[in-house]
Structure 1
């Protein structure tokens, strides 16, 4: 379960997330670059959580059944399914069928973590699913995991 690396041209790992990717800006998902993808990978999953929220790992975004690709484009459209990503499914996080960027209250600084997984299948999971449902469905199918963390205040 190693070898996968995730980066973005938008910010450095552990760096500041630019305003355009936040709820105070355009609220668009950043472009993600993946290297070291396992040759047996059938799909990609992204889970984005606010690690600084009072509720631990408060979920902002879940998307699964992304086709295997080395560059996941920025500004993934809102909706239950994403036709530009071959029907990838966005579930119910804080963003509710969409990316919902950082928007911490009171100028607090929060850490936001993008967890990217490659798995050995496509998941048959309804778009009403939440993070806990996704984690259960992907159990036993994960080939790799990588994370990218940014800060915003």
Structure 2
């Protein structure tokens, strides 16, 4: 039996990300590109995918959500580099991240705060649409993803300033 997996030509498990994926704002000056992502061997019954990027090391008490993409059609198995700035598959929707933006927000840990982990996760879902409103908080989205996912696959990359 195959295992649901996430791969990327741009980021690698446990490795430092390129400045290409750094945010532009909050004191950071990167190009703010989202990395290319591809997934395979989704669980049976998958009707849509979601992609999230979460930094559990942010000094907030609740982590930091960098990207929340929902309702990616089950026929899609990849997102190109830079898709986070609007080039998403038809039907997909982006919810507001913790920067307050409806797009990908790159890494921007506080200077001298040490290494942060960025968890890029693809979620396989049993419905075509995740039952959350467009204005749902990232915490509600995370709750609903965990409550409904048929499976998930993650690449954890790192970054520091």
Query: Structure 1: any 5+ residue segments left out of the alignment?
Result: none
Instruction: Quote how far apart the aligned CAs of 1:63 are.
Output: 1.0
| Superposed CA RMSD | 2.0
CA deviations 1:31-51 (Å, max 9, x no partner) are: 111121123111111121112
Distance 1:112 1:140, change over 3 A: closer
- The alignment of Structure 1 onto Structure 2 pairs a total of residues equal to 149
Question: How far apart, in 2, do the equivalents of 1:115 and 1:20 lie?
Answer: 19
3-state DSSP class of the match of 2:111? helix
Task: Provide the TM-score with structure 2 as the length reference.
Answer: 0.82
Task: Provide the TM-score with structure 1 as the length reference.
Answer: 0.86
Moved over 4 A (4+): none
Question: How far apart, in 2, do the equivalents of 1:138 and 1:59 lie?
Answer: 14
Query: Structure 2: any 5+ residue segments left out of the alignment?
Result: 24-28
**Pairing of 1:23-34 with structure 2 (within 5 A):** 23=23, 24-34=29-39
Instruction: Quote how far apart the aligned CAs of 1:11 are.
Output: 2.1
Partner of 2:83: 76
